[in-house]
Structures are given as structure tokens and as C-alpha cells.
Amino acid sequence: MAGGIHEECGIFALSLPEKTDVANLVYYGLYALQHRGQEGAGIAVCEDGVITAHKDAGLVSEVFTTPVLEKFPTGCMALGHVRYGTTGNNPRLNVQPLVINHLKGRMALAHNGNLTNDYELRQALELRGSIFHTTSDTEVIAYTITKHRLQEDRLEVALSRAMDELQGAYSLVVMSSRKLIAARDPWGFRPLCIGSFEGGYVISSETCALDAVGARFIRDIDPGEIVTICDGKLTSDRSHCGTREKHLCVFELIYFARPDSVMDGHPVQTARQRAGAFLALEHPAQADIVIGVPDSGIEAAMGFARQSGIPYGTGFIKNKYIGRTFIQPTQSRREDEVRIKLNPIASAVRGKRVVLVDDSIVRGTTSIRIVRLLREAGAKEVHFRSSAPKFLYPCYFGTDIDSSQNLFAYKYTDEEMRKLLDVDSLGFLSVENVVKLGTNGDHGFCTACFSRDYPCPPPQVAMKDKYSQPINRE
């Protein structure tokens, strides 16, 4: 299993008043969201009611070469998706968006999150005759919407009825021949926002993608809200809003999101600096320099340095042409990548007492290697600080922590972790302070992977690849 935690997806969509090269615009948006998923990418374009889609495994730049982009028609609507799969074991098969054809037309759908009742919904749909082609819960959502669409005049009403059945995390965008519809689950586990662009609208997982195409941020989509864009007008259905307490995944602020994004009113960069400041108060250290693990540990390290008064320095150089450590499928390859991805600056750490700040310690393998690099570079002492609390429990809402058994903090005591990491001291941000990372007084975060306080019931069938084998119905 990988050394770090992995998020599932990123979504980008737009609806414009005039036909244009919408595929290229979505390409730029997905490029800005590449950090949210590096397993596959897809784009669907709607032209005069006809949906044209292309998707494949790989990075955005690999899937959408110039010849591929040139084959897309001009259009007024399009949506795109980048994926890192948390359910299903076939990357190519499960790449989104999904395109569905039914009696009342066509529909393309892109989804970020994880359902907790998809196994039960899928069984019920199969008993009614549905035939599934993927092993992801996104297809369950698509079929559930379609089931209601065949009985409803409007797609947004069908989506609302589907939301009565869906449990868990889902931020999604649905495109028909005339409408672009976005929805967010009532808990608001995963982000989704609206921007304006050239007289039209843009939907995105993060504000950084709005910036990439020159769109202006309007607002976040509220938990439970359904936004419909049709004929240049935007309408909102808030019938599901307020039915649950808000629980944005706090790890969005700690690690998933780009630092230049703003999420539900929380500037991500500021949140990470606050995490570092809290760490300095909770776990002070006598040290000569504070360094961060690129990229998501850097802002927390700056916050630690500012709060503690210990000088901040650059301790690692990152090879910008190497992706995140979870791209390669085997652990041996991941460890090789850590070696070439990060290189310590020996002159900065040699003979010094170092505070090393990273976003988290999940399974420990990457952290052990990073500390070893510092020791080899001559660090006198290493004091490890994690800007996330201890990961102890499975996540069922869109990340790939499907069991406690491989979690470092679950398997070992604090002293055992310290020895295995080969550090002089070890400190984790507390659950009490992690909910204070927001800057607007909003403490509505999901901390279930740290606290086991699940906002909604966990799934009855929690296997990561629960659809990979034939279902035994005996």
C-alpha cells in the first residue's frame, strides 16, 4: 500500500452562451486539478444535443494530446474529470465521465466522492435488470438518476429524487443535451464551487481551476444544493440543504487541495500555516531550523517557524518532473521514487537540530525514507511534526484508507513510531485543533479518520474492490 493518503477525483465543467472550443477550456481546468487525480482523465462535449466524449488512463497531458483535442466539436457545454480510484481495480474501465443513453436522451456524469450504500443500491438495480459495465459507484449514481429520470419531466428533479437514496460523499456534475447540473451531498464532504466566465458559468472542485481559465469565483455550492444552468440562467434547489450538519473533509485543507485554492471560505494556504502554528504550541522543540516536506508540508513548516521563532529553511529540493509517490503500483517502485523525488540540501541541515514538518503520516513508509535522507545528509537531530492528527480509522467518503490495519499510528505506540522513524521526537496535531484550521469560525469538518466520529453510517460492505469479483447470491 502507498505511503500517503490518496483522494479520488477532480471535476471541471462549463456552460457558455455561444459555441466555442470548450474542450480546450476544460483541458486547462483539468490541468489545474491534476493533483486531485493522476490515474485517468476524461472530457465530454455537448454540441446540438450530441455528446462526444474521450477518456483514458493517464495524466491530462497524456490523454489529451493536440490531435485528440482537435477532434472535439465546438459546443456550449462540456465537463471533465481527473480520477484516482478508491473503488474498482480497473483504471481504464472506471475513468470518467460516464455517458448514459436512455429513452429520454443522453447524460454525461462526473463524480467526486464515495457512496456508503452503493453496494445495496447496485444490488437493487441489478435485480431490476440494470447491467453494469464498471466497478465504481459512479455508475450506481448514474443509474439511480436515470431510474427517476424515466418518470420525471426534468433532470434536476430526477437528481433530487436520487439524492433521497444516495448516502455518503458526492460532489457531481451532470450534463444533458440542454442543461448542466451540479450537486453536492448534504454533508458537503467534497468541495464544489461556481464561477462566471464569458457570460456563462463554470463548475469546479477548486477555485484554482477557475483561475486557470480566467473565470471569476461566485460562490461555493452549499451542502445539499442542486444548481441547474439552462439557457444562460442559473437556478438553485435547496430542498436538501440543512438536512445534515456540514462535514467538509478536513484533509482537503491539510493536503488534497492546492494551496492557492479557497474552499468553503477557507484559504488553503492560511489553513496550513495555522496547522503549523498549532503544532508549535502543542509540540515545541529546541531546534536550529524548521523545514517542510514539499509540497504540502511547506506551508505548515512556515507556520511552525513563525510561531516558534525558529528560522525556516529549505531542506529538500523536489524534482518537479516526478509525480506524487502513489503513481507507481508497487511499493518498491514508490520507495525508488522517494529517492529521486526529494533530495536533501546537506549544507542546510548538516550538524543541525531539524524540525521536519509533513502533512501527515499514514502508512509510514515514505516518512521513514524521508527521515533517513536527512540523517544521511548529516542532520544532528530530527524532530518530526505532522500537521494532521494520527490516522487511526478507515475513511468511507472518498479517500483510500479502507482499513486500520496498515495505518502507522494504529499499529504502533508513540514510542514505537518514534523509534521506527528514527526521530528524536514526534508530534501530531490534535483533533481538537484540526477543526480550527478554518479562518471563518466554521468548525464543520469531518475528522472520522482521526476520531471515528462518522457523520453518516459506514457501509455494510467495506471491501475496497467489492465489485471486482462476481457477487455470490446464494
By annotation, the residues acting in catalysis are 9
The beta strands (E) that lie in 319-471 are given as 342-344, 353-358, 381-386, 425-428, 445-446
Displacement of CA 383 from its chain's centroid (Å): 29
Residues 6+ apart with CB under 8 A from 311: 288, 289, 290, 305
Residue 38 carries which DSSP code? -
Hey, how many other C-beta atoms are within 10 angstroms of the C-beta on 467?
23
| Cα–Cα distance measured from residue 131 to residue 116, given in angstroms and rounded to the nearest whole number | 20
What are the distances in angstroms from CA 125 to CA 99, 117, 465? 18, 12, 19
Calpha distance 81→61 (Å, rounded): 13
CA atoms of 456 and 168, how far apart (whole Å)? 7
C-alpha cell at 434: 484540526
**Burial (CB count within 10 angstroms: exposed 0-12, middle 13-18, buried 19+), residue 45:** buried
Residues 6 or more apart in contact with residue 372 via CB below 8 angstroms: 422
Quote the CA–CA distance of 191 and 170 in Å, as a whole number.
9
In DSSP terms, 291 is beta-bridged to 356
Cis omega (within 30 of 0) for bond into 97: yes
State the residue for C-alpha cell 462476481. Answer: 470
Query: Among 263, 286, 254, which residue's Cα sits nearest to residue 10?
Result: 263
Would you give the DSSP letter of residue 457? P
Which residues lie across from 161 on neighbouring strands? none
Quick one: how far is CA 348 from the chain centroid? 33
Specify whether the CB–CB gap between 316 and 403 falls below 8 A: no
In whole angstroms, give the CA distance from residue 390 to residue 280.
17
Q: Which three cell numbers stand for residue 338?
A: 522517494
What does the alpha-carbon distance between residue 350 and residue 216 come to, in Å, rounded to a whole number? 46
Angle between helices 365-376 and 414-421 (to 10 degrees): 50
- Vertex 433, ends 355 and 273: CA angle to 5°? 50
For 174, the grid coordinates are 451532470
Plot region of 413 (φ>0 → left; ψ -120 to 50 → alpha; else → beta): beta
